[in-house]
Amino acid sequence: MDFQHPWYLILFLTLPILIGWYRTFGRKKEGTLRISSSTFISEEFRTIGKRKPRFLQTLYLMILSLVILGLARPRLIDNLQETSVSVIDMLLVLDISSSMLADDFPPNRLEAVKKTASEFIGGRKEDRIGILVFAGESFIQCPLTVDKDVLQSLIKEITIASKEHDGTAIGMAIANGTNRLRNSDVESRVMILLSDGSNNAGEIDPRTAAGLAAEYGIKIYTIGAGTNQSYTRIPGRGLIRNEIDEETLQHIAEVTGGKFFRATDIEALASIYSEIDELERSEIQVKEFTQYKELYGWFLIPAFLMGLGMETTRRSIFRSRT
């Protein structure tokens, strides 16, 4: 609580002055009745005679105190905060072609990606996130949602694409992701595309698809996952050639305003997701409002009623004529 006009509180200093003036001069101006001896007046009558002026004096002081407090405009202050979060719509686009079974990221690339992606999702409390997987074709694993438990559950169910759907259709994956994000009413729309190969399937070229995403204001972060060795091993299948098309992934990121990352091990992959997490933080706006509740009525109204009651009592019961 504070006072809008605190300088009125200085008037409290006049109360002791008024009390001193009354005791020195005020009593002399009161009506008096002289009698030869106080024995003619009962003790009860004398006590009542003393109580009446004391009562009126106390009432006067109370009224003046309430009036001074009312003039000082006491008020309660309530600070309110309005928080708004500018969320991000984010789509994880994950390669599930057979090459993701390579064991250069233990236990294999896909499981390492699922683990790091799951940790990334856990830290995005406000954003809507979806998951799209692709091999020779692309499939929506989970549409945009804020339900992180559902996302965590569905990301665990991701498996390598069947043989008939094998391949790497990066362009189709971007086009499908763009179609999912283009009608979003959120200002920030982001794709995080992870692949360990080069585009070898689908009807849309990745560069063309990237240009389409850029037209809708969709930013794409691309991650090339795999060691720098020429070959890597898939358990039970032997060696496969590493064919990460870094040039195309760099172009996709550059055209859309994103960034290209190269992950050669699981630690690097985790740090990449951490960096993207920092780059794409939700904007939180906090507005502060101050609400005042005026209290002067709680002082002035009782002062008025007490003054009215005192004047009525003084003229009717005490029979004062002044």
Could you read off the pLDDT of 52-111 as tens digits, one per residue? 777 777 888 888 898 988 888 888 887 766 666 678 999 999 999 999 999 999 999 999
Q: Which residue carries 């990237």 as its tokens?
A: 210
Q: Are residue 189 and residue 235 in the same domain, yes or no? A: yes
- What distances in angstroms separate CA 314 from CA 30, 299, 300, one per listed residue? 14, 22, 21
Low-confidence ranges of the chain (pLDDT < 50): none
Has residue 287 been placed in a domain? Answer: no
The domain tally of the chain equals 2
Has residue 93 been placed in a domain? Answer: yes
- What distances in angstroms separate CA 156 from CA 153, 180, 199, 201, one per listed residue? 5, 22, 25, 26
CATH number, residue 173: 3.40.50.410
Instruction: Give me the domain span that covers residue 74.
Output: 2-78+293-316
Has residue 167 been placed in a domain? Answer: yes
Q: Are residue 103 and residue 195 in the same domain, yes or no? A: yes
Check residue 114 and give its pLDDT.
Answer: 96
Q: Which residue carries 């559902």 as its tokens?
A: 150
Check residue 208 and give its pLDDT.
Answer: 96
Has residue 322 been placed in a domain? Answer: no
Distance CA 155, CA 165 (A): 19
Pairing of the two strands 138-145 and 128-134? antiparallel
Q: Are residue 67 and residue 125 in the same domain, yes or no? A: no
Q: Are residue 121 and residue 60 in the same domain, yes or no? A: no
